[in-house]
């Protein structure tokens, strides 16, 4: 770190901190308040070290130091420092619901968007400059390879690793003992080629939008002059090369994770057992010929949640065939078909929207992203417009539902008396409703 700081003319790093997330950043804390004199902390996520070689790790640290490099001007460094400070404060307030935080949330929620709007162009340029610093210290090829691996590793954990880990909560009431050893192994194993190329293709299609402070991967690779390709698997991680007692650190991370996840894990286990009991009851009703449409639909949804799409698909398929005018069954069936790259999911989603307007809110975006992911941009544009229109209609609908004006005209309802009595009894359970 000292060598990289010297090469890049960066600020002195006073302390290096490690934490359990896959990220890295530098935070600066003023010791003299508005007069500055900053103490600089380099914060490194240990999972980030697990998934990258030492050479790539150098590129990551060089990027972070590059944000504050003197060679790129004090103003850009100031913008980066201010933004990081706001980000940390906002994150802390969102995670802690102490009454005192509410006094500040209004101010932050009002002020931070203005800061973002006025500085995002500078911050985007700062990202390119930090990439350049990384390329100078290592090479443009190494920086590009690191950016690609970082994206693929994050998707790999989200798609292949964490779902399998959380699935254990359905079967056992306590979290795994060696979660970070398993994560390290997953990050060292080569990503299946088919998945890797699919994910890289999807990430490269993402464009830098007008409000994005971080440029898209394709723009960053273009700026570096690097070709996009799947990086080879690493033989030795920066974690193993630089951490003196890695097993002790892994044990500590495991303990932290289990303490954080313990209650949530037990709740998930109990919830799944309850849901399986409901499925058993519904199966018994089916055997007796008492299963209603709502029962069958509820069973399919529960099965998908606790056992996955493979087991729920035939249930949705049967429901859609038996009840072709049931929008929910059509929607869920279409969603699974699209997820597996099958075009016949599109008419299923459209049929659901035709029968239920509210299905448009999720249905049109599903079709749009499906066509975009499969390189059909012309078809996607049509559903991008439909998505915008459906959201506009929904916003007007919500505004009408939640706003009352003195000139509004109300007519008597036509609901049966027994229904209104049930509704009144239900509303009595809500303390914030004074009269119904």
CA distance to 102, 138, 219, per residue, from 2 (Å) = 40, 15, 30
266-282 pLDDT, tens digit per residue, is 999 999 999 999 999 99
pLDDT recorded at residue 242? 94
Residue 212 has pLDDT above 80, yes or no: no
249 in Cβ contact with 243 (< 8 Å): yes
Measure the CA–CA gap between 134 and 18, rounded to whole angstroms: 21
Measure the CA–CA gap between 329 and 312, rounded to whole angstroms: 11
84-125 pLDDT, tens digit per residue, is 556 665 666 565 555 455 555 555 566 656 555 555 556 667
Which band of pLDDT confidence, cut at 50, 70 and 90, is reported for residue 140? very high
For residue 80, which of 27, 152, 150 has the smallest C-alpha distance? 27
Contacts of 9 (CB under 8 A, 6+ apart): 69, 70, 71
223-245 pLDDT, tens digit per residue, is 999 999 999 999 999 999 999 99
- Across the chain, mean pLDDT equals 86
pLDDT recorded at residue 81? 56
pLDDT recorded at residue 185? 95
pLDDT recorded at residue 73? 46
For residue 367, which of 392, 345, 399 has the smallest C-alpha distance? 345
> In the chain, what are the domains?
1-257 (no CATH), 292-428 (1.25.40.10)
Residue 27 has pLDDT above 70, yes or no: yes
355-375 pLDDT, tens digit per residue, is 998 899 999 999 999 998 888
Least confident of 104-118, 130-144, 205-219: 104-118
CA distance to 180, 186, 259, 301, per residue, from 252 (Å) = 10, 19, 11, 38
- Average pLDDT of 1-30? 88
Kindly report the backbone phi and psi dihedral angles of residue 18, in degrees, each rounded to the nearest multiple of 5, phi listed first.
-115, 145
What is the value of pTM for the model shown?
Answer: 0.72
317-348 pLDDT, tens digit per residue, is 999 999 999 999 999 999 999 999 999 999 99
Which band of pLDDT confidence, cut at 50, 70 and 90, is reported for residue 303? very high
Measure the CA–CA gap between 124 and 244, rounded to whole angstroms: 36
The string of DSSP letters for 16-77 reads EEEESSS-EEEEEEESSGGG--EEEEEEEEHHHHHTS-HHHHHHHHHHHHHTT-GGG-HHHH
pLDDT recorded at residue 89? 59
Residue 75 has pLDDT above 50, yes or no: no
């Amino acid at each position: 770190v000292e060598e990289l700081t010297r090469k890049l003319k960066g600020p002195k790093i006073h302390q290096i901190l490690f934490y359990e997330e896959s990220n890295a950043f530098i935070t600066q804390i003023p010791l003299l308040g508005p007069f500055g004199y900053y103490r600089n902390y380099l914060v490194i996520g240990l999972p980030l070290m697990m998934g990258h070689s030492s050479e790539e790790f150098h590129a990551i640290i060089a990027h972070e130091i590059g944000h504050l490099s003197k060679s790129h001007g004090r103003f850009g460094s100031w913008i980066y420092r201010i933004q990081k400070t706001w980000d940390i404060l906002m994150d802390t307030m969102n995670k802690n619901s102490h009454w005192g935080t509410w006094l500040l949330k209004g101010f932050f929620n009002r002020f931070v968007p203005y800061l973002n709007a006025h500085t995002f162009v500078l911050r985007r340029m700062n990202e390119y400059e930090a990439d350049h610093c990384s390329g100078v210290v290592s090479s443009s090829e190494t920086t590009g390879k690191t950016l690609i691996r970082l994206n693929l590793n994050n998707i790999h954990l989200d798609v292949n690793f964490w779902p399998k880990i959380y699935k254990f909560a359905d079967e056992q009431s306590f979290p795994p003992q060696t979660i970070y050893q398993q994560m390290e192994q997953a990050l060292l194993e080569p990503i299946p080629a088919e998945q890797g190329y699919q994910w890289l293709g999807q990430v490269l299609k993402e464009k830098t939008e007008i409000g994005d402070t971080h440029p898209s991967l394709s723009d960053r690779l273009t700026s570096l002059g690097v070709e996009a390709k799947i990086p080879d698997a690493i033989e030795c991680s920066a974690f193993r090369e630089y951490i003196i007692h890695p097993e002790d650190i892994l044990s500590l991370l495991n303990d932290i994770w289990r303490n954080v996840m313990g209650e949530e894990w037990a709740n998930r286990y109990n919830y799944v057992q309850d849901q399986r009991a409901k499925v058993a009851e519904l199966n018994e009703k089916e055997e007796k010929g008492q299963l209603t449409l709502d029962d069958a639909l509820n069973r399919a949804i529960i099965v998908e949640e606790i056992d996955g799409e493979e087991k729920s698909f035939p249930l949705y398929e049967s429901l859609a065939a038996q009840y072709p005018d049931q929008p929910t069954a059509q929607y869920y069936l279409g969603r699974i078909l699209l997820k597996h790259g099958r075009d016949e999911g599109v008419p299923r989603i459209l049929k659901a929207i035709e029968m239920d307007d509210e299905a448009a809110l999720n249905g049109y975006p599903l079709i749009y992203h499906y066509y975009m992911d499969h390189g059909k941009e012309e078809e996607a544009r049509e559903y991008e417009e439909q998505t915008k229109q459906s959201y506009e209609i929904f916003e007007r609908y919500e505004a009408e539902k939640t706003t009352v004006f003195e000139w509004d005209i109300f007519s008597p309802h036509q609901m049966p008396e027994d229904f209104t009595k049930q509704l009144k009894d239900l509303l009595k359970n809500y303390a914030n409703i004074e009269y119904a």
